[in-house]
Structure 1
Amino acid sequence: MKNRFFTIAFSVLFVHQLARFLLSIDFYPEGNEKHRAVNVLEDGPQADEKKVPFYKRDFPLSQYTGLSNVEERDQRKADLEEECAASSHPRSIKDLKPREKNVLLKHIVVSDKYKFLYCYVPKVACSNWKRVVMVLDGVSDEFVKEHPYGLKYLSEYSSSDIQERLETYTKFAFVRNPLERLLSAYRNKFGEIEDVMRSYGVKIKKQYGTYKEEEYEGKIPGDDVSFEEFIRYLLDVKAVEYMNEHWAPIDTLCQPCLMNYDFIGSYDNLYEDAADILSAVKAPADVHFPARQSFYSPTSYATTVYYYSTVNTTYLEKLSKKYKNDFSLFSYPVPKWSKSGDIYDS
């Protein structure tokens, strides 16, 4: 009887430790931050579409309907060129402030072998794109699970070499609806990344919520930042060029009016657009954009709606203004936020 008890106890302990190990594996690293053992919000609680509160269900996340992915991409590029022509956005690197220039050049990945420039945007499949570049440039013989390494960035080149590449290389970037991208950043960084919780999370709780160190006994300080607190923090960052790259506007990271990208891919058409871009740069036929792991589930439409319905309308209206360039430049519908919390397209 005693031996049986110890056998059962050992089995329970083994299963428990195995489960903790499996949950600790980081299949989609976004940076060098320390990850939590358990991904509390791997993709967050998926909302029931029939029970979404305060929401007009006809709100679109894209204004392009009924178009093929090629037609959509071409239309987005044409709309971008029209918007740039009618605005005062910087059109030359010389027009940028030093900090803006630094941000842009550090976000342009260079492939001299295939002669392209890729502006990476966090939370728009950038880690997998960097892994693709690693394979193309021979940094790695296969797609790696760890954070991408060994890449070259435009900031490493001389002024003359930068200008030459801007004029002769194929240039592309991928964009995503600002609402979806911000929510993805929040759920990943404040639900999984311990370093972010201990730094940004603690700062946000002290400024916008309640922070009592004794209440975090046995927990990670800053692991309870609400979505509204996160939004309030974003609104109070005065200079967007000093924002963390995971929630800085795409306009700030990639300067589309200046760069004149040949391709503007969409997160919604990720695989189709990626295949077309790889073909355009004459990548080997056996190099494909990596598929998502079978367990990965993108944030659902209803979940996006649910999180934004928890935020005060006043903050949401200010958020739309803060990210207005990303809405207008990349042709995403600018939401209007009613006093009841409904959102609908303009």
Structure 2
Amino acid sequence: MGTWRSLRVAFILGSLFMLLLIIAYWDDIGGFSLYPFQDLKHDSLHSDCGSQRLSSDAALSASTIGARSGPSVSLPITSRIPLSPEDTAQTHPEEEQKKPPWENARKEGGRNRVLAGDGDQDVRKQMIADVCSGKTNVEFPGRTRVIEQIPYRELDHLIVDDTHQIIYCYVPKVACTNWKKVLVVLSQALISPSSGKPYIDPEAVPAELVHNSSLHLTFAKFWHHYGSLSRYLMALKLQRYTKFLFVRDPFVRLISAFRNKFGRPNEDFYKQFGSVMLRRFGNVSGSLPETAAEAFAAGIKPTFQQFIAYLLDPETEKDGIFNEHWRQVYRLCHPCQVKYDFIGHLETLEEDTERLLKILKVDHLLHFPSGAHNLTSTSWERDWFAQIPIATRKELYKLYEPDFEMFGYAKPDGLLQQELD
């Protein structure tokens, strides 16, 4: 009996010793930090960028999809990971005395905080922090929850590149086709039929293939890959990887989405969304044409007014059909839970991408694809909202107010306070 007890004591002491060794050296071999979520220290647009969910993914043969090694598995973190601003924010009296530039603009009745073209990343990050912490009195669902409370299905826009330690949240209608091309090249996920090797030039990657969901590892897939370890691995990667997203003026993004999906025949969007808009708000008598091509030929297609009415219809949200092309960025990318290291703006795309590629340390590997900057002109308010009642415009602004406030886009006062000729 004494020998057995001695063996048990020796085993326990040995286990404790090994645990101490792991704790002491794990950071040096790529494991987890005991101080999770410290700040990372970093000193052409295609018409569509949503994943192919309305129809089946384009078939990719084994010779087309490159062989990728699976993401490395790390040991789990046992402590709770604070990601919400409420969990991590600390207030210091001396900091409160330093008023950020957008505070003065708000008090002086100027434009809503700073212009979106301001490329200062500290300013952009602080605006997000202010909204998420409640300083701006802008409320929206999910503002105070932590990332562990977000269902996996809502994390499907966070693409992970383990090789280069990158996390990119793609926003449809904000240059994400080109950014997906960049990630396909970096991950060597797609084989060029001409060379038989992975694509090395983002320009050469077919745009119609980059939205195939099988090409990208997203947080939504972690449960299938890692099971019970998935949340821990997400926390590790959110701590260590460089996280970025690109945004644009919310109303201009809406216009872009409408033009692309309903301004020309699109069978999937016509059947799932366009026909619903026409039945609810189009006063269409009789049955609708079966296909988008037939509808357009007959002059039957959704208008921008019907599109806006559809977005504001409580039934739309109730049905759970708030498509990613017009879903708010705060719902796609969860900026109150994910502390992004870089926030790019479409309005400053060239400067931002050049700077970001250097931060990611991949500027020597590739160039960001060039393309026509299909930015809506300054007359978009008059052109698109002239037939929309002011009350409806105000309601629409309220729906997207968190995105306006969070990402520094000026409140369109002229649009919300007067009729347009």
Distance 1:160 1:302, change over 3 A: same
Distance 1:338 1:91, change over 3 A: closer
Q: Does 1:127 align with 2:127?
A: no
Partners of 1:241 and 1:215 lie apart in 2 by: 23
Two-structure CA RMSD over aligned residues (Å) = 2.9
Distance 1:220 1:195, change over 3 A: farther
Distance 1:215 1:249, change over 3 A: closer
Moved over 6 A (4+): 59-62
Distance 1:213 1:250, change over 3 A: same
Equivalent of 1:333, from 410, 413, 417? 410
Once the two structures are TM-superposed, the CA of residue 304 in structure 1 deviates from its matched residue by 4.6
Once the two structures are TM-superposed, the CA of residue 82 in structure 1 deviates from its matched residue by 2.2
**Structure 2: gaps of 5 or more residues:** 1-45, 56-109, 191-198, 223-229
Q: Does 1:292 align with 2:371?
A: yes
CA contact (8 A) 2:305 2:387 kept: yes
Question: 1:14 corresponds to which residue?
Answer: none
Q: Does 1:256 align with 2:305?
A: no
Q: Deviations over 1:104-143 (max 9, x none)?
A: x101011001101101100111111111100111123133
Comparing 305-314 with 125-134, greater Cα deviation is found at 305-314
Comparing 211-220 with 127-136, greater Cα deviation is found at 211-220
Question: 2:133 corresponds to which residue?
Answer: 85
**TM-score, L = length of structure 2:** 0.61
Partners of 1:95 and 1:214 lie apart in 2 by: 43
Question: 1:64 corresponds to which residue?
Answer: 115
CA contact (8 A) 2:258 2:304 kept: yes
- 1:79 is paired with a residue whose SS is helix
Q: Does 1:152 align with 2:239?
A: no
Aligned residues, how many? 284
Partners of 2:249 and 2:360 lie apart in 1 by: 26
Q: Deviations over 1:148-197 (max 9, x none)?
A: 04111112221111111111111111111111011100110002323212
Distance 1:153 1:182, change over 3 A: same
Question: 2:306 corresponds to which residue?
Answer: 229
Question: 1:20 corresponds to which residue?
Answer: none
Given residue 144 of structure 2, which amino acid in structure 1 is its aligned partner?
P
Partners of 1:271 and 1:199 lie apart in 2 by: 35
Question: 2:167 corresponds to which residue?
Answer: 117
Given residue 194 of structure 1, which amino acid in structure 2 is its aligned partner?
E
Distance 1:64 1:123, change over 3 A: same
**TM-score, L = length of structure 1:** 0.73
Partners of 2:374 and 2:331 lie apart in 1 by: 28
Distance 1:195 1:220, change over 3 A: farther
Question: 2:380 corresponds to which residue?
Answer: 303
Partners of 1:313 and 1:165 lie apart in 2 by: 45
Partners of 1:93 and 1:286 lie apart in 2 by: 33
CA contact (8 A) 2:254 2:326 kept: yes
Distance 1:159 1:242, change over 3 A: farther
**Structure 1: gaps of 5 or more residues:** 1-26, 35-58
- 1:260 is paired with a residue whose SS is coil
Once the two structures are TM-superposed, the CA of residue 259 in structure 1 deviates from its matched residue by 0.2
Question: 2:20 corresponds to which residue?
Answer: none
CA contact (8 A) 2:48 2:260 kept: no
Question: 1:246 corresponds to which residue?
Answer: 325
Given residue 79 of structure 1, which amino acid in structure 2 is its aligned partner?
M
CA contact (8 A) 2:160 2:166 kept: yes
Alignment of 1:1-346 (within 5 A): 28-30=47-49, 32=52, 63-64=114-115, 70-71=119-120, 73-86=121-134, 89-96=143-150, 98=151, 101-103=152-154, 105-140=155-190, 141=199, 142-143=201-202, 144-145=205-206, 146-148=208-210, 149=212, 150-157=215-222, 158-192=230-264, 193-212=266-285, 216=289, 219-221=293-295, 224-236=301-313, 237-238=316-317, 242-293=321-372, 297-336=374-413, 337=415, 340-342=418-420
Q: Deviations over 1:178-237 (max 9, x none)?
A: 110111001100023232123211110100112245785994337521111100100113
Distance 1:214 1:70, change over 3 A: closer
What is the percentage of aligned positions where both structures have the same residue?
32
Partners of 1:109 and 1:91 lie apart in 2 by: 21
Distance 1:243 1:338, change over 3 A: closer
Distance 1:86 1:298, change over 3 A: closer
Distance 1:113 1:339, change over 3 A: closer
